[in-house]
C-alpha cells in the first residue's frame, strides 16, 4: 500500500477525504492528516508518505509555501495533489511548476478524485519498477556502455528549471501517448519555440530525443518482467509497430529486446554498445 497524508484546514473536507474515500481499493492507506502547512511539513518530514493531498489556502502556512520549504530544505518530497477553491491559473501554474501531479477544485467530484488516484497509483508503480530495474543492474554484469546509457536516462531529470521540470514530468507521465511539445507549451501558456529552445538548452536534448529516451527506459522496466512479451512492451511505451520499437531499442541500447531479456534472466550475453542515435525532430 502507498502511504498518503491529507493537509486541509476544513475539518469536514479533511475527515470526509480520510474516512469516506475507499483508499485501499486504489492501493493507498492514510497515515496522517493535518490542518495547516506547518503540520503538513512535520508529517512529511516524519512519516515520509508517498502521496500528499494538500490544500492551497490554509492558516500559518499555505500549501504551496509548504512544498517550497520542503524542497528548499532538501527533504524527500512525496507526490502532491493540490486541492483548492480557487479557479485561478496563477495558482494552477505555481502548483504545477512546484511539481504537483494534479490540481483539483473544490467541491471535489468523486469521479475526479478516483481518476487522479488511479493515475497516482500507476505513477508510483512505475517508480517501483524503476527501482527494481536498478536492483537488476546491481545483480547482473552488463556492458559498461549500456549501464552508462541507463544512468544517462536517470540523470536527465533536470529539475532546476521549472518549465523544463514540468515538461519532463509530462513526458514521464504520458510516455505511452503521442505527446507533443505543442501540447506541453499549451498547458504552460508559452510558445512552442520558446519551450523547445529552453528544453534543449537545459537538457542537451530535443523534446523528441528526450521522449525517446524515456520510452526506452520504460521499455527496460517492462522487459525485466518475463511475463511481458516484446510486442506488449512496444504497445506499453506507445509504439504500435513492434519491429520499429525493436529497431529503436537496439539503436539506443546496443541490444535487441530479446537479448536484453536473456541478460536480465541471467544468461551470459555479450554485445557492444551501438552508436546511440535518436529520431530527428520532424
- Say what the pLDDT of residue 269 is: 40
- Of residues 276 and 90, the one with the higher pLDDT is 90
CB contact at 8 A, 102 and 72: no
In the sheet where 102-105 sits, what is the strand order?
28-34, 2-7, 51-55, 79-84, 102-105
- Say what the pLDDT of residue 149 is: 61
CB contact at 8 A, 94 and 56: no
Block residue for cell numbers 525493436: 246
**What residue ranges of the chain are covered by domains with CATH 3.40.50.2300?**
2-121
Q: What is the rounded distance in angstroms from the CA atom of residue 229 to the CA atom of residue 178?
A: 22
% of the chain exceeding 70 in pLDDT: 81
- Say what the pLDDT of residue 139 is: 60
219-266 pLDDT, tens digit each? 888 887 778 889 999 999 999 899 999 999 888 877 889 888 877 665
**What residue ranges of the chain are covered by domains with CATH 1.10.10.60?**
140-264
Assign domain 140-264 one CATH number from 1.10.10.60, 2.40.160.40, 3.40.640.10, 3.30.450.20.
Answer: 1.10.10.60
Cell of 168: 519532463
Q: ∠130-248-144 over CA atoms, to 5°?
A: 55
Cell of 223: 522487459
Assign domain 2-121 one CATH number from 3.30.565.10, 3.40.30.10, 2.40.128.120, 3.40.50.2300.
Answer: 3.40.50.2300
Of the candidate ranges 93-102, 196-205, 264-273, the one whose mean pLDDT is the lowest: 264-273
Q: What is the rounded distance in angstroms from the CA atom of residue 244 to the CA atom of residue 279?
A: 11
Give the chain's mean pLDDT.
82
pLDDT-derived band at 138, boundaries 50, 70, 90: low
Angular region, 60: left φ>0, alpha ψ -120 to 50, beta rest: left
- Say what the pLDDT of residue 264 is: 67
- Say what the pLDDT of residue 178 is: 86
Q: What is the rounded distance in angstroms from the CA atom of residue 63 to the CA atom of residue 147?
A: 39
- Say what the pLDDT of residue 280 is: 45
- Of residues 55 and 281, the one with the higher pLDDT is 55
Structure-derived torsion over alpha carbons of residues 95, 114, 84, 55, reported in degrees to the nearest 10: -80
The closest of 58, 52, 56 to 77, measured between CA atoms, is: 52
- Say what the pLDDT of residue 146 is: 63
pLDDT-derived band at 34, boundaries 50, 70, 90: very high
| pLDDT > 60? residue 214 | yes
- Of residues 183 and 140, the one with the higher pLDDT is 183
| pLDDT > 60? residue 199 | yes
pLDDT-derived band at 196, boundaries 50, 70, 90: very high
Cell of 53: 493531498
pLDDT-derived band at 281, boundaries 50, 70, 90: very low
260-275 pLDDT, tens digit each? 887 766 543 444 434 4
Contacts for 52 with CB less than 8 Å, ≥ 6 apart: 4, 5, 6, 7, 40, 43, 44, 78, 79, 80, 81
152-187 pLDDT, tens digit each? 665 554 455 678 888 888 898 888 888 999 999 998
CB contact at 8 A, 233 and 223: yes
- Of residues 193 and 122, the one with the higher pLDDT is 193
Amino acid at each position: 500500500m502507498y502511504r498518503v497524508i491529507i493537509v486541509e484546514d476544513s475539518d469536514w473536507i479533511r475527515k470526509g477525504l480520510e474516512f469516506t474515500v475507499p483508499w485501499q481499493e486504489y492501493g493507498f492507506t492514510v497515515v496522517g492528516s493535518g490542518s495547516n502547512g506547518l503540520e503538513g511539513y512535520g508529517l512529511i518530514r516524519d512519516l515520509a508518505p508517498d502521496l500528499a493531498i494538500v490544500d492551497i489556502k490554509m492558516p500559518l502556512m499555505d500549501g504551496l509555501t509548504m512544498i517550497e520549504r520542503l524542497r528548499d530544505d532538501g527533504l524527500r518530497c512525496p507526490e502532491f495533489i493540490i486541492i483548492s477553491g480557487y479557479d485561478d491559473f496563477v495558482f494552477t501554474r505555481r502548483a504545477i511548476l512546484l511539481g504537483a501531479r494534479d490540481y483539483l477544485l473544490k467541491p471535489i467530484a468523486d469521479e475526479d478524485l478516483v481518476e487522479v488516484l488511479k493515475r497516482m497509483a500507476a505513477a508510483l508503480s512505475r517508480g517501483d519498477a524503476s527501482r527494481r530495474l536498478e536492483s537488476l543492474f546491481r545483480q547482473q554484469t552488463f556492458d559498461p556502455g549500456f549501464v552508462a546509457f541507463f544512468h544517462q536516462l536517470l540523470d536527465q531529470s533536470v529539475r532546476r528549471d521549472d518549465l523544463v521540470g514540468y515538461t519532463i514530468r509530462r513526458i514521464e507521465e504520458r510516455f505511452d501517448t503521442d505527446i507533443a511539445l505543442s501540447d506541453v507549451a499549451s498547458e504552460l501558456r508559452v510558445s512552442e519555440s520558446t519551450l523547445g529552445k529552453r528544453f534543449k538548452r537545459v537538457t542537451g536534448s530535443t523534446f523528441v530525443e528526450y521522449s525517446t529516451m524515456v520510452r526506452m527506459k520504460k521499455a527496460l522496466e517492462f522487459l525485466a518482467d518475463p511475463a511481458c512479451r516484446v510486442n506488449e512492451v512496444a504497445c506499453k511505451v506507445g509504439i504500435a509497430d513492434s519491429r520499429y520499437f525493436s529497431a529503436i531499442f537496439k539503436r539506443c541500447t546496443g541490444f535487441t529486446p530479446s537479448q536484453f531479456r536473456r541478460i536480465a534472466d541471467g544468461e551470459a550475453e555479450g554485445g557492444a554498445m551501438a552508436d546511440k542515435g535518436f529520431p530527428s525532430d520532424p
